[in-house]
């Protein structure tokens, strides 16, 4: 989150690391549905929040187990080995990653 941006709904300022745009849920149990909208974005829905959340190309959804709860967050996308067409030097892999 850039300093001039306001936190989005569901997030209190200072409650999450800068890469977390919005904590969608922090719960014991939930089911999520992921729907591809276009080649570059998708939506995520659950009964844990009120409306569909649109995930843009520069964002990811992180599902993490914390203590005995599940945390689902929308975060800023950082390059990793799973990105198509990217060379990932940190892993020692020098070729390009291809989509399957």
Give the tens place of pLDDT for each residue, 21-76. Answer: 999 999 999 999 999 998 889 999 999 888 999 999 889 999 999 888 999 999 99
CA 31, 41, 87, 20 torsion-angle sign: negative
Long-range pairs of 33-37 with CB within 8 A, sequence gap ≥ 24? 34/61
Task: Kindly report the pTM of this predicted structure.
Answer: 0.61
Q: Which residues pair with 63 in a beta bridge?
A: 72
Distance of CA 8 to the CA centre of its chain: 14
Q: What is the pLDDT of residue 36?
A: 93
Nearest residue to 96 (alpha-carbon basis) of 76, 50, 84: 84
CA 58, 77, 12, 30 torsion-angle sign: positive
Q: What is the pLDDT of residue 12?
A: 46
Q: Is the pLDDT of residue 8 over 70?
A: no
Do residues 49 and 10 lie in contact, with contact meaning Cβ atoms separated by under 8 Å? Answer: yes
């Amino acid at each position: 989150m850039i300093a001039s941006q306001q936190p989005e709904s569901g997030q209190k300022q200072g409650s999450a690391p800068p890469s977390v745009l919005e904590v969608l849920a922090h719960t014991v149990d939930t089911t999520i549905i992921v729907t591809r909208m276009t080649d570059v974005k998708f939506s995520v829905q659950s009964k844990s929040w009120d409306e569909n959340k649109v995930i843009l190309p520069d964002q990811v959804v992180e599902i993490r187990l914390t203590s005995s709860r599940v945390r689902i967050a929308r975060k800023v996308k950082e390059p990793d080995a799973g990105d198509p067409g990217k060379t990932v030097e940190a892993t020692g892999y020098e070729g390009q990653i291809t989509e399957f």
